[in-house]
Amino acid sequence: MLTVAAGGSLMMPRNLGISDGPDSELDERQRRVRDEAYVNAYRLLCTLFILVRLYVMIGHDAGWWLPRSSNELQATFWSGLLLASTLPSAILAWTEPDLRE
């Protein structure tokens, strides 16, 4: 759990050069890039949610694997929470060009 918390803190927008603070601290480009990352993350999460829901509906009738035990349900929940909380930062990291050192 400590590893997840440490890794998640490294992926925060403020550590990627984009503040997650108030808009007054950001210029127009930073606000646009940040807002675009949040919109793309929201679109991806909505699409993923729909696909997971379809999988559950079809999988229930077809006998596919579904999480049933407490450990499986917790792993599914925490994985989804981790994905939802780090996806905007991950999109920023993937789309922004590398800084020259």
**Residue boundaries of the structural domains of the chain:** 34-101
Mean pLDDT of 22-51: 90
- Is the pLDDT confidence value at 24 over 80? no
Q: pLDDT, tens digit, for every residue of 47-62?
A: 999 999 999 999 999 9
Per-residue pLDDT band for 86 (boundaries 50, 70, 90) equals very high
Per-residue pLDDT band for 63 (boundaries 50, 70, 90) equals very high
One-character DSSP codes across 6-70: HHHHHTSGGGGT---S-GGGS-HHHHHHHHHHHHHHHHHHHHHHHHHHHHHHHHHHHT-----SH
- Is the pLDDT confidence value at 36 over 80? yes
